[in-house]
Every structure is written in C-alpha cells, then in structure tokens.
Amino acid sequence: MSMVEKVLDAYPAEPGLPPKLLAQAVDKLYECAGACLACADAAAAEQDPQKIAMSVKCMRTDHDCADLCTVAARVLARQTGYDAPTTMAVVEATRTVLRASCEACEELKDLKYAELSAKVSRETDQLLGELVEKMRSSEGAGGYPTQPPSATTPAGAAMNDDGQTGASSGTSEDELREMHVDELRDLAREEGLSGVHDMRKEELIDAISGKRRS
C-alpha cells in the first residue's frame, strides 16, 4: 500500500471511488510526470542530426504531459468539494496529451529513454481509462456525485429528500453569520438562489434566510 493510498484510505468521509484505484492513478500520474521530464531532458541532449527535429517535438509533448499529469494527480487527490465536470475534463485532457507524448516518443526509434517514456505514458492512459469507466458507471456514480457539494461538505455526504445537503438545510442564522462568504455562496446556490457571486455577506444571509422562510 502506497502512502497516497494510506492517506486516501484514512479520509474521514466516504470517497466516491475506491482509495486503491484513486491512489494507483495519483501515483502513476506522478511517475509519468517524472519520466516525461527525464525524457525531455534526454531529448534536449540528443546529438544525432537525424533525430534532432523529432526530439524537439518529443520535448514539447513531454513537458505538456508532465504538466497535465501533475495537475490531474492533484485534482484526483481532492475528494472534498468534488466537482465531477472539472475532474472529468482534466482527466480527459491528460489522456489526450498522454497519447500525443507517446506517439512523439515512438517516433524516436531505437532510443531507450523515448521507449521508456512512451511505455509509462501508455500505461498511465490505460489506468485513467479504467478510472473514467468507473466514474461513469452506475456503481461509481452512486458515491461520486455529478454535482459539486458545498465547500463545507465532504464528497459523498448524504443529501436530504430535496437534494440539499444537511449543512444547507439545518444551518441556523447564527451559524450562517459565523461562516465565510464563499461558504455562504455555496449554501445560497444549494437553496436555488441566483446572482450570489456579487452578493456581500449580509446580503447572502438575508437571501438564504428569506428563501427558507418563503
């Protein structure tokens, strides 16, 4: 069990996906990022005139791949306040760059560093493919919400019959006043209020309280 898996396994709420699968994805993404950076550095030192032009493309896609893999790993490791559309977009973008990096490396034939980088990019893409299938499946969707919960609510927290989190429906006005403005905006959106982005704290409290009284 990797350290990432241990930490995800200790998450205080119920995660939307198995900690082992999430940890494998996060660990593999970081491994791929490191391999791509090492490959880009090796390509920069390429001396073969016939391979220099291709090595430039390899360096570019390697750096893109390393950047996206790092972002995807960071996003996947966050289970609180989970945002499904953002997560899916980041993962799919990463898979696109992984394939591009793999293809660029495969053009540098007979170069061990490019071969190894292509291999880890391919493996990472396949693992992310499994993760996407899990996220889209009914089994995964049961605990992996398709709408982002409040910033004050852990991912997978139970909702009431109206589709609102307990934090939104059970918060008193005094408790509202103790909350940060960003948290109030989240609660206001859960109450179905619009135009909350420009509201100040007192306006948010009045709007939420008024909505509940109506």
pLDDT in tens, 33-70: 999 999 999 988 888 777 777 788 889 999 999 999 99
Residue 157 has pLDDT above 70, yes or no: no
Q: What is the DSSP string of 128-139?
A: HHHHHHHHHSHH
Among 25, 1, 12, 13, which Cα is nearest to 131's? 25
Q: What integer pLDDT is reported at residue 170 of this predicted model?
A: 59
Residues 114 and 189 in one domain: no
- Residue 193, in any domain of the structure: yes
Residues 33 and 106 in one domain: yes
Report the percent of the chain where pLDDT is more than 90.
Answer: 35
Residues 114 and 181 in one domain: no
Residue 101 has pLDDT above 90, yes or no: yes
- By three-state DSSP, how is residue 165 classified? strand
Is there a contact between 7 and 149 (Cβ–Cβ < 8 Å)? no
Residues 103 and 203 in one domain: no
- Residue 154, in any domain of the structure: no
The set of residues, in sequence order, having a beta carbon less than 8 Å from that of 116 and lying 6+ positions away, is 35, 39
pTM value is 0.63
Residues 116 and 33 in one domain: yes
Residue 124 has pLDDT above 70, yes or no: yes
Residues 137 and 174 in one domain: no
Q: What integer pLDDT is reported at residue 16 of this predicted model?
A: 67
Longest C-alpha distance within the chain, in Å?
Answer: 75
Residues 62 and 122 in one domain: yes
Residues 95 and 131 in one domain: yes
Residues 96 and 178 in one domain: no
| Domain's final residue, options 125, 141, 157 | 141
Residue type, 35: A
Q: Which domain holds residue 77?
A: 3-141
Residues 86 and 187 in one domain: no
- Residue 159, in any domain of the structure: no
Q: How many domains does the chain have?
A: 2
- Residue 150, in any domain of the structure: no
